[in-house]
C-alpha cells in the first residue's frame, strides 16, 4: 500500500464548525477549498466557477462580496460532487437536501460518510451501512461511493504511471 492510499484512509473534510464564518472573499474561498480537493487528487474550484454557481442560484449570493460558513460548506460539497455529477444533478441534490436537512446536518453527514467510504475503499474493508437510510440519504451515499471509487482509481492509476 502506498502513502497516498494510507492518506486516503485518514482523509477527512473539516467539521462544519471549523469552516470559517468570518466572511471570506472569493479568492480566499478558492484558497481554502483547493487544498482539500488536491488532497483527493482532484482540481479545486476557481473564482469563475463559484461566481457561476452564484449566478445559477446554486449557492446564495455573497454578503458584501464575502462568503460565510454555510456557503463554503455547500461549495465543498459541490467541489467533491462535481467529480462524478453534472451541475444540474448537483443542483437537484442540493434542493432535495434543503427540503429535509439544514446545511450543517447535511454537511456533517456528507463529511462523515466520505471519510468512512474512502477508508473502506482504500483499505478493502466492507463498507459500514447506515441503518437510518431513506431514499435521499441513499442517493447521497451512492454519490459518495462513486466519489470514493473514482478517487481510488485515479490514485492507483497515477501511481502506475
For the segment 34-45, what is each residue's pLDDT rounded down to a tens digit? 999 999 999 999
Q: What is the pLDDT of residue 63?
A: 95
What does residue 67 show for φ and ψ, rounded to 5 degrees? Answer: -110, 140
pLDDT in tens, 97-140: 999 899 999 999 999 999 999 999 998 888 877 777 788 889 99
Q: Is 9 exposed, middle or buried (0-12, 13-18, 19+ CB in 10 A)?
A: middle
Name the domain count of the chain: 1
Q: Which domain holds residue 88?
A: 3-160
pTM of the model: 0.93
Compute CA distances 98 → 6, 35, 52, 59, 102, whole Å.
Answer: 34, 27, 20, 12, 6
Q: What is the pLDDT of residue 10?
A: 85
Residue 90: pLDDT over 90: yes
Question: What's the mean pLDDT in 66-75?
Answer: 98
Q: What is the pLDDT of residue 159?
A: 85
Residue 1: pLDDT over 70: no
Task: Give the number of C-alpha atoms closer than 13 A to the C-alpha of residue 3, restricted to the C-beta side.
Answer: 1
Q: What is the pLDDT of residue 105?
A: 95
Q: 18 - beta bridge partners?
A: none
H/E stretch holding 25 reads strand 24-25
Nearest Cα to Cα of residue 87 among 45, 148, 116: 45
Amino acid at each position: 500500500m502506498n502513502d497516498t492510499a494510507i492518506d486516503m484512509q485518514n482523509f477527512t473534510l473539516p467539521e462544519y464548525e471549523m469552516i470559517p464564518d468570518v466572511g471570506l472573499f472569493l479568492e480566499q474561498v478558492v484558497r481554502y477549498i483547493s487544498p482539500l480537493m488536491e488532497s483527493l487528487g482532484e482540481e479545486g474550484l476557481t473564482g469563475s466557477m463559484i461566481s457561476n454557481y452564484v449566478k445559477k442560484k446554486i449557492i446564495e449570493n455573497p454578503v458584501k462580496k464575502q462568503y460565510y460558513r454555510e456557503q463554503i460548506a455547500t461549495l465543498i460539497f459541490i467541489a467533491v460532487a462535481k467529480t462524478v455529477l453534472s451541475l444540474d444533478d448537483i443542483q437537484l441534490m442540493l434542493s432535495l437536501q434543503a427540503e429535509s436537512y439544514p446545511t450543517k446536518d447535511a454537511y456533517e453527514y456528507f463529511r462523515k460518510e466520505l471519510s468512512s467510504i474512502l477508508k473502506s475503499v482504500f483499505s478493502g474493508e466492507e463498507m459500514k451501512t447506515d441503518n437510518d437510510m431513506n431514499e435521499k440519504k441513499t442517493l447521497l451515499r451512492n454519490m459518495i461511493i462513486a466519489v470514493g471509487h473514482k478517487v481510488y482509481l485515479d490514485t492507483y492509476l497515477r501511481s502506475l504511471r
